[in-house]
Amino acid sequence: MRLKTKNLNWFAGRPVVILGEIASKKLNIHVDEKIYVRHAGRKIFAVVDIFQGLVKANEIGLSKEISSRLGNKEGEQVDIESANLFEGARLIRKKIEGGELNAEELKIIVTEITNNNLTEAELAFFLSAEKLVGMTTKETIALTEAMISTGRKLDFGREIVADKHCIGGIAGNRTTPIVVSICAAAGLIMPKNSSRAITSAAGTADVIETLAKVELSGEEIKKVVGKAGACLVWNGALNLSPSDDKLIHVERLLNLDVEPQLLASIMSKKIAAGSNRILIDIPYGGGKMKTKRQAKKLGNKFKIIAEHFNVKIKPVYTDGKQPIGNGMGPVLEMIDVLSVLRNDPDCPKDLKEKAILLASEILSLCGIYFTRIKARKILESGKAYEKFKEIINAQNGSKDFDERVTKLKIAKHNKPIYADYYGNLEIGNSKLNELCRILGTPETTSAGIYLHKHNGVVKEGEKIMTLYSESPQRLEEGLKFLKEVEPFKIK
């Protein structure tokens, strides 16, 4: 059936179209049913809402999620047809009932995720099956391959392309901008693309965005990397492993860790981005890995997958007991990064030392010697800071780095938190991340937490942290959370 489109200025958070009651009856299509919308050679999937009065009997209303992908002009005709059967759903059921999926079957599931043919609940079933039924190495490799093949690939035409990734779970911990600046200053090619926040207060992309444009096209990235040797961009706009973003969105509902998905997610994005020397930072003792043994087991799985794809990988096992750095939230983390790069005397030492360690491991993975000394020298001499400026200016296409830095602003409402008594302070990671989200991060870049103390002895009345938010209500909710959930303890 053909219908006239009405492009609605409507962000629904999922692919929805609106039909009136007459059209839905004529088409024998019901609320929440799945349909295909066809226009100009494109065929995309949508769920039906019935909204009497908003559209005429011969019209279909399109949410922004649909019209942006369909590329139709208002008033153009589309064809719609019912879309009952999704092979993907049947295969997810096979997996959740204990089956093993082959490469072809995983490709079908990943393709349907990429095409938006599966609901979030179906993705949740798939993730649960991955986590609880588990996946063989063969399945994880096939999943990785499927995720790469359904997206775009980058190619920098260089023999050695370096990359780094942290499996996450540690609050703050914004080493990437520092590490990339050191490595690029040492002459490596490091086209770093990062995610936005998944379960944390900010992702690297959110932090960089406080100073620079991060949504660059593949062509723009090549230009920046050609100029500065490195970039610090958001991966979401690049369409590398596009199914990954949808799966991450669902994992995030419960802040769930699903190991096969973690492996496939990281490896598919790195390989699609053209990297072949990859450092994986695996913190343990807090965050996602409880013990060093558990961390090493995961590291070995990375190695097996990397071998299959012919890339060199180096897992580094780091301290995950507490947050790294003082700031949490996009602007507050950028302030930390700048203070380390500028060698401010009161910069967070833990962040600095970790960045030097990771940079030196990457340098040695790329065949360079005496890397620990070299990495420190590059940072302390200010060369890394110059490289960072160069990258930011290249991404912005302008030389206004200093001006942008002066415009960084922390949220206007704040509340300092003091120690109630003398004792040993213990700060958790995940609960601080939750607290930041209540305060408004990552959407509100100026919000978050600044730590005045790390784990160790505190005196009564000492300032432990300051909460920042643009909304007094969210600040109130943050204080309530602080009381109820206790993201830190004094013992």
CA distance 319 to 427: 13
Strands 456-458 and 77-82: unpaired
| Listed ranges 120-128, 188-196, 421-429, 456-464: which one lies at the site for a second copy (CB under 8 A) | 120-128
Q: What angle do CA 54, 57, 63 make, to 5 degrees?
A: 45
Rule CB under 8 A: choose which of 253, 304, 373, 457 binds a second copy: 253
Tell the smallest beta-carbon distance from residue 131 to a second copy (Å).
7
Tell the smallest beta-carbon distance from residue 13 to a second copy (Å).
4
Positions in 388-407 near a second copy (CB under 8 A): none
Rule CB under 8 A: choose which of 4, 6, 10, 296 binds a second copy: 10
DSSP label of 238: G
Question: Residue 16 or residue 378: which is nearer to a second copy going by CB?
Answer: 16
How large is the angle between the packed helices 292-308 and 137-149, nearest 10 degrees?
60
In what side-by-side order are the strands of the sheet with 16-19? 16-19, 59-62, 2-7, 77-82, 34-39
Tell me, what amino acid is at 163? D
Q: Is 11 in the site for a second copy (CB under 8 A)?
A: yes
Which tokens sit at 346? 């009161």
Q: Is 486 in the site for a second copy (CB under 8 A)?
A: no
Rule CB under 8 A: choose which of 56, 58, 69, 89 binds a second copy: 89
Question: Residue 134 or residue 274: which is nearer to a second copy going by CB?
Answer: 134
Question: Residue 40 or residue 121: which is nearer to a second copy going by CB?
Answer: 121
Rule CB under 8 A: choose which of 36, 58, 69, 124 binds a second copy: 124
CA distance 109 to 126: 9
Positions in 50-69 near a second copy (CB under 8 A): 50-54
Rule CB under 8 A: choose which of 60, 123, 305, 482 binds a second copy: 123
Size of interface with a second copy, in residues (CB under 8 A): 58
**155 flagged as catalytic:** no
Q: Is 119 in the site for a second copy (CB under 8 A)?
A: yes
Classify residue 272 as exposed, middle or buried by CB count within 10 Å of its CB (0-12, 13-18, 19+): buried
Tell the smallest beta-carbon distance from residue 34 to a second copy (Å).
10
Which ranges constitute the DSSP H helices of 191-233?
A: 204-208, 218-228
Tell me, what amino acid is at 170? I
CA distance 246 to 261: 12
CA distance 255 to 394: 35
Q: Minimal CA–CA distance to 202: which of 489, 389, 449?
A: 449
Q: Which of 257, 281, 344, 420 is catalytic?
A: 257
CA distance 254 to 124: 10
Rule CB under 8 A: choose which of 4, 56, 93, 213 binds a second copy: 93
Question: Residue 251 or residue 336: which is nearer to a second copy going by CB?
Answer: 251
Concatenated DSSP letters of 23-38: HHHHHT--TT-EEEEE
Which tokens sit at 257? 């860790």
CA distance 459 to 167: 34
Beta bridge partners of 489: 426
Q: Is 121 in the site for a second copy (CB under 8 A)?
A: yes
Mask 419-458, x = binds a second copy (CB under 8 A)?
Answer: ---------------x--xx-x--xx--------------
| Listed ranges 100-108, 170-178, 248-256, 321-329: which one lies at the site for a second copy (CB under 8 A) | 248-256
Tell the smallest beta-carbon distance from residue 156 to a second copy (Å).
35
Catalog residues that contact a second copy under the rule CB under 8 A: 8-13, 16, 18, 28, 30-32, 47, 49-54, 81-82, 84-85, 89-90, 92-93, 96, 119-125, 127-129, 131-133, 250, 253-256, 434, 437-438, 440, 443-444, 470-471, 473-474, 477, 481
Residues tagged active-site: 257
